Amino acid sequence: MIDLLRLHVVWDHESTEGARIAEQISSHFDGIGMERDGVAYRVPVRFASTPWLGETPLPRSIDLSRAQHNVIIFLHDEEMHEHRLAWNAWVSELRKEIDRRGGKDIYVPFGSVTGEQPLDKDLNDCIQYQRRKKWGELANNDARDQRLLLLILICVREHLRKLSGKTQKEPIFVSHAKTDGDQSARAIVDFINTTQEGMPLETFYDATELMPGENYEDRFNEEIASGTLLAIVSDVYESRPWCVFELTQAKRWRRPIVLADIGGKRISRTYPYGANLPRVRVKPDPEDPSWIEPLLVEAMSEGLRCDLFEQQALVASPNNTLVLTRPPELFDIIHRDSIPDLIIYPDPPLGDIEAALVERALAAIAPTTRMVTLGEIT
């Protein structure tokens, strides 16, 4: 079976740090985004490190034909630098194969933490390495791992967007209540836009994006329709009309959504259509921004899950099919301009209680519509 997306982590077999990072990458992509009943979306990760023949330090060549799209995560370090002549030849052949496949795959090299220059082949071809030497200022390995995961997720999502013909970057729409969520929202936006490493992300934060005289409802709709919604769910968030509007519009547009729960005391009423979404509990610290990057990893992971599921489902779908990247809910059934023949959603199937509610609504509104998981039709 050909995978839609496959990650390959490449490092020198003598590098214990490379092996540790590879395990972290594999663990993360073993289940990204929303998880239900212990089932999460898995992106296959393969390792390329163990020497393949004789005295060579090189692993076996990567078979790119086993996936529609491959991501080569290349961990350059001092051990690889010692074997650079052999690695130069290996990487040269790999990049030739990537070129032969016509841009389906992406090469993502991370530079040495000790500052060795890139491999000659990459240096001569002006291939940018992510400069990990600058990550020494980060607090610990966990922080450095989050930085690496975030950059991988950004690169993968951006690559897939370009292949689908989308030229503009997808913004992170930071939805928040001014009363008790503005400080956290501004901290996220400032981190993305001012971090010394330069996060290749775009944000929408109304306080700095809206121009005088601009119709903000139209602008909100435009940004939400093309972005990932990161909702800062504070104590008053779900009681604010514009917060509810933003969350509802993101659901209407079937956009990736992650809820960042920063509530401290009491929520007087939860918004009924703010469920069926991944929620992350966060404790913002105005003096320490280390809480932000794991949250961005969650948002981009959910975004990638939605991207990949939608692409898989559309390929398998007959005409007049509604593809949902989240489990179906009453909101999805009612908010339709037309009645689909089929609704496809991620595995596993809905539990009995949820399924009975949705099927009752379908019987009243669209009695001929069938509802199945992607696994049930493939």
Q: Which helix or strand (DSSP H or E) is residue 201 part of?
A: none
The per-residue pLDDT for 135 is 86
| Whole-angstrom distance, CA of residue 141 vs CA of residue 315 | 39
Q: DSSP of 69-118, one letter per residue?
A: EEEEEEE--HHHHHTHHHHHHHHHHHHHHHHHTTTSSEEEEE--TT-PPP
What are the sequence ranges of the domains in the chain? 3-163, 171-311, 317-377
| Whole-angstrom distance, CA of residue 341 vs CA of residue 302 | 27
The per-residue pLDDT for 195 is 61
Assigned fold of 171-311: Rossmann fold (3.40.50)
Give average pLDDT by consecutive 10-residue segment, the chain, 378 residues. 95 96 97 89 96 87 97 96 94 96 97 92 94 84 94 96 86 94 94 75 82 84 93 95 95 96 88 93 92 96 96 90 94 84 94 94 92 90
Domain 3-163 shares a fold with domain 171-311: yes
Q: What are the tokens at 197?
A: 């490493």
* The residue to which tokens 């971090």 are assigned: 195
The per-residue pLDDT for 14 is 95
The CATH code of the domain at 3-163 is 3.40.50
* The residue to which tokens 């002006």 are assigned: 126
Residues 6+ apart with CB under 8 A from 185: 174, 176, 205, 232
Side chain identity, residue 100? R
